[in-house]
Amino acid sequence: MNNVAHTIVLASASPRRRELLELMGLHFAVEPSDVDESPPMDEAPGPYAVRLALEKATKVARARKYEIVIGADTVVAKDSTILGKPTDATEAQSMLRSLSGGVHEVWTGIAVVCMAKRFEAVKAVCSEVTFREVSDGEMDEYIATGEPMDKAGAYAIQGGAGRFVSRIKGSYHNVIGLPTLELARLLEQLGIEVGYVSDTV
């Protein structure tokens, strides 16, 4: 077993997470997990995101026990209420209205699992994001691009909604979907050295 190379697997289909791992200089394979992302049941945003991240990583790791598997899940929360992905344009606008002119939280749960090494580590990372006042016309224009429809909280900070953001407190990469600095610390526990990663806007 000690002679087996421990490669990295990302248990996510997210192109944004793939780009962030590449930014970290990591070589990895991609195997999305089909874990059911059911709505939280009396869970706070952080624990919910961590639970899903661990479920995703563990499911893939069971079939790839010699590899290091990374799982992640990102949620947007307004006043402790988790905002998922909108089901239609009306729901997207409702979510954006709730975020307009105020502060909300973005939580990402990350999990690193390696069955062969009997290693499991998780972390919840929170960033605070402030939206300026956004007009209905701006919301309609943004929703018409289709970008909000597969995004938690109905927006992508690295996309068209970046112009709505007036302030970020915490990790910018976390808001995109993968807190690179925190992930690097977890990987270092397995002897994987990660180069300097800028996590600023």
Residues involved in catalysis: 73
Smallest Cα–Cα separation from 143: which of 91, 92, 191, 109? 92
Q: Do residues 73 and 57 touch, judged by C-beta distance below 8 A?
A: no
Structure token pair of residue 30: 């991609």
Q: CA 29, 33, 39, 42 torsion: positive or negative?
A: negative
- Strand, helix or coil at 21? helix
Task: Give the span between the Cα atoms of 25 and 89, in whole angstroms.
Answer: 37
Angle at CA of residue 171, ends 67 and 163, nearest 5°: 120
Structure token pair of residue 91: 């729901």
